[in-house]
Structure 1
Amino acid sequence: MMELTILQNDMAWPFAILIAWMAGEFTHRWVKLPRISAYAIVGFLLAPSQLGLLPVTQSPTMLLMANIAFGLILFESGYRINLRWLRNNPWIAVSSLTEAALTFICVYFLVLAFGQSTTSALLLAALSMATSPATILRVINEHKSSGQVTERVLHLSVLNCVFAVLVFKIIVGLVIFKTSGNLWDASYNGLVVLIISASLGVGFGIFIPAVLRKTKRLHQDGTLAFTIAVVFIVALTHSLKLSPVLATLTFGLVVRHRRIILNASQHGFGALGDLLSVILFVFIAATIEWRQVVAGVGLGLAIIFVRQFAKIIGIGIFARVSGISWRKGALIGMATMPISAFVILVLEQSRYIGIDLIDQLAPLAAAALTLEIIGPLFIQRALIWAHEVPEIKEN
């Protein structure tokens, strides 16, 4: 009996990943749904608090694997950011800042209206600012989309992540200081973490291309080198309790502006990237408990509505002045719906460093589950309606 229990625990995650991959392939083939929506449904159903296939104890190894998967996607997201474009068209950054600020304000007052504490309102508002580049990039790569809506929503998602991490870390630092009165702990978990994490990404963004140029293996070994570097950065930030989100985003951004060109086979990191994406989205959905979804469903759905309204308005008002139509501005706002991958991993990282906010932020469980499943559908529709998906173009 003990041997069967050990076997079940050992095989739980490999079995879940296999089931999720099969579900993703069949749903994509039969009903043309994004694969990651199926991964999320399988992960949620097999979670300990639902069907109970996956182990109750949170595995540090799986958290690290999910962070590595997220890190690879964030690296590629950062790599695709064109700072020259943002300088030439500053209205894109202005629209991002406006919709992030509008989202924060609207969600903050909404949460207070539901009778939540000021701390919960601040934390929920900060995390609601984010848009998950992981979900957006996987859908973009899956459909091979390209165009104004594709590029803008990817740029806005990265900027939103940076804004959300900055505000979230500052608020967490203030909460720690208010609770313990320890200025060093508050500072370290706030601004110091952000500065060190960004510096780490910049350092690797300079060092790795220099090594590849020196060894004359830039084109042959680029993917391998960047993958190893991302794994190392994520493991190091995980161990030092820094921010892997900011470190990997910065790494990708610096690599691009060191004039390193990734060829087509390097985008998405091939089969390794696909495997880790399955792990990432199954892991994210498996962390969501049904009781938390039920407890926060009212506020969670309200947050989804208010958040989406704020983002569409914040982006839409700058659509014409930034060089696109109102329609495309609305489609970009619609495509910024995903949030789950960023929020869940940030909260899991916070719990890992000793700051457990999961129970305080139960409404996010309902929002995360909903957006984990329907978010990819909204991105897919937005890209199709913008005529930026190749199959649609051909038709």
Structure 2
Amino acid sequence: MNPFTTSTGAPLWTLEGLRGADPVLGLALLMVLAVVLADWLHRHARLPLACGHMLVGALASPLVLSLLERKELDSWKPLIDLAIAVLVFELGTRIRPRWLIDNPALALTSVLEGVFAGLAVSASLILLGVPLLSAAVAGTVAMSTSPVITLAVLHETRPRGQVTERLLLMTAVNSVLAMVLLKVWHVVGASAGRDLITTTVSALYVVSGSVLLGAVCGLLLEVLSRRLRGTSAMPVLQIGLVIIASLLAVQWTMSPLLALLVAGVVARARMRHALTVEPQLGSAGAALSVVLFVCLGLLLTLDGLLRLWPWVLAIVLARMVGKGLAVALLARPSGLGWRQAGALTIALQPMSSLAVLLAADTFAWASQLPGMDLSALQALLLAITLMQITGPLWTTVALKHLAREADGVS
């Protein structure tokens, strides 16, 4: 067999040949193309790197060239979950829970912006005729801001200031709220026919077990790192514990997101300035992040947009209104100016598929959200597509030009 042809006989350098290539080779080629194209777009069009990575994935998706099918990504899901886990752990190390105690108005804002967004999305969809259960699930997913987009922009622009710190905190809180509610919904659905006590215990197990697992991993990092601090082995230790926490959370039907956030928070609280966390936990994590954004691009969909655009628009606008209302109501009591409040509202807009990704075993999300109306699910995925592909732009504009907290901005 010719090494430069596929099993179908098509040359590797042709479109047909690329379609028939090994999925591992295909994804590796996409990674290389993503890095080169994203850098070119960043230099010449000032486009955030994450946008370039997702655009390459979108070009290779069934939307355009069909170089990779979405079902071929299922075998890559553990790697994608690991990329998410690395970023979620880093997010946990960068938030300060003590701030919530010192500033009760900020704590209330952190909860209300997610709750208001979820309620606004659910109510708007119900008014448009979406079934109650499906609208509630869509509202739950819409609560969260994308941690991966938030951190990707922060790594690139390196902002510092009130808006940046609040964005990190609120992203963590609303992501946890969305994940926990989805987990509880799964538990309740799986407990149909059981008594209320059993269902409640199962739900408490998910939350308390995730917190306990994360706390143990954070403490382990503090203990095991005592002889490794300041060495090249620290990122390896951090990634190892992230993998352990993530896999155990999945194995024990807990929340990986909550466990990893708690692990990061506990590690920071115990180690303080002795904890040094490289962006994306080093170069290996950076490579995983490129894979993650390419795969997010591959998962983008526009199917049914012309038919479902009223629902999609309702999700995007209702979510923006809900988050903006919560931030504005408590801006002054929490010590935030109006310009900063506007910047924070915009920065919170990139919607996250993280709550769905970590709750699912495969990318066939319809099977992971049983009982949800398929049209409502498609509208939700369309809204996620639009807010995810443009998300880095929203966050960059908010932090760099409105809040003026990024490097090089006066």
Output the amino acid matched with 2:190. Answer: I
Query: 1:155 — aligned with what?
Result: 169
TM superposition shift of 1:190: 4.0
- Cα pair 1:24 1:37 within 8 Å, conserved: yes
Amino acid at match of 2:124: L
Conservation of the 8 A alpha-carbon contact between 2:71 and 2:363: no
Equivalents in 2 of 1:289, 1:186: separation in Å?
Answer: 35
Mean alpha-carbon deviation: is it higher for 346-355 or for 189-198?
346-355
The whole-number CA distance in structure 1 between the counterparts of 2:57 and 2:305 is 15
Q: Does 1:47 align with 2:64?
A: no
Which residue of the partner structure matches residue 390 of structure 2? 374
My pick for the range that moved more, 187-196 or 46-55, is: 187-196
Provide the secondary structure at the position in 1 that maps to 2:397: helix
- Identify which range, 69-78 or 226-235, moves more after superposition: 226-235
SS at match of 2:133: helix
Q: Which amino acid aligns with 2:88?
A: L
**CA shift at 1:252, angstroms?**
0.5
CA distance in 1, matches of 2:311, 2:134: 12
Residue in 2 aligned with 1:314? 326
Give 1:153 shift: 0.8
Per-residue CA distance 1:227-262 (angstroms, 9 max, x = gap): 111122223333444321111111111101112436
**Alpha-carbon shift at residue 113 of structure 1 (Å):** 1.2
Name the residue aligned to 2:210. Answer: 197
**Separation in 1, partners of 2:40, 2:196:** 53
1:2 corresponds to: 7
Alpha-carbon distance, 1:121 to partner: 1.0
Give how far 1:265 is off. 6.9
Alpha-carbon distance, 1:51 to partner: 2.1
User: What are the Cα deviations for residues 293-326 of structure 1, in whole angstroms up to 9, with x where unaligned?
Assistant: 5554321222111101110110111111111211
345, 348, 364: which one pairs with 1:333?
345
1:103 is matched with 117
Which of 204, 214, 217 lines up with 2:228 in the alignment? Answer: 217
Gaps in structure 1 of 5+ consecutive residues = none
Equivalenced residues, count: 390
Which of 21, 24, 28 is the aligned partner of 2:42?
28
Q: Which amino acid aligns with 2:229?
A: L
Q: Which structure 2 residues correspond to residues 75-114 of structure 1 after superposition, within 5 A?
A: 75-114=89-128
| Structure 1 residue matching 2:182: 3-state secondary structure | helix
Match of 2:157 in 1: 143
Evaluate the alpha carbon distance shift between residue 355 and residue 366 of structure 1 in structure 2; reply closer, same or farther with a 3 A threshold: closer
CA deviation profile, 1:331-379 (whole Å, cap 9, x unmatched): 1011001123424514534868963458451111111111112111111
Q: In structure 2, what is the Cα distance between the partners aligned to 1:342 and 1:305?
A: 20
Alignment pair present for 1:207 and 2:212:
no
- Aligned mate of 1:124, from 134, 138, 145: 138
CA contact (8 A) 2:70 2:363 kept: no
Amino acid at match of 2:126: L
The 1-side partners of 2:320 and 2:278 are apart by 33
Question: 3-state DSSP class of the match of 1:309?
Answer: helix
| Compared CA separation, residues 60 and 132, structure 1 to 2 (3 A) | same
Q: Which moved more, 1:327-336 or 1:101-110?
A: 101-110
SS in 2 for 1:259: helix
Give the unaligned 5+ runs of structure 2: 1-5, 10-18
Rg larger in 1 or in 2?
Answer: 2
Alignment partner, residue 342 of structure 1: 354
- Pair 1:361 & 2:377 matched: yes
Give the deviation of 1:181 after TM superposition: 5.5
Tell me the CA shift for residue 211 of structure 1. 1.6
1:248 aligns to 2:260 (yes or no)? yes
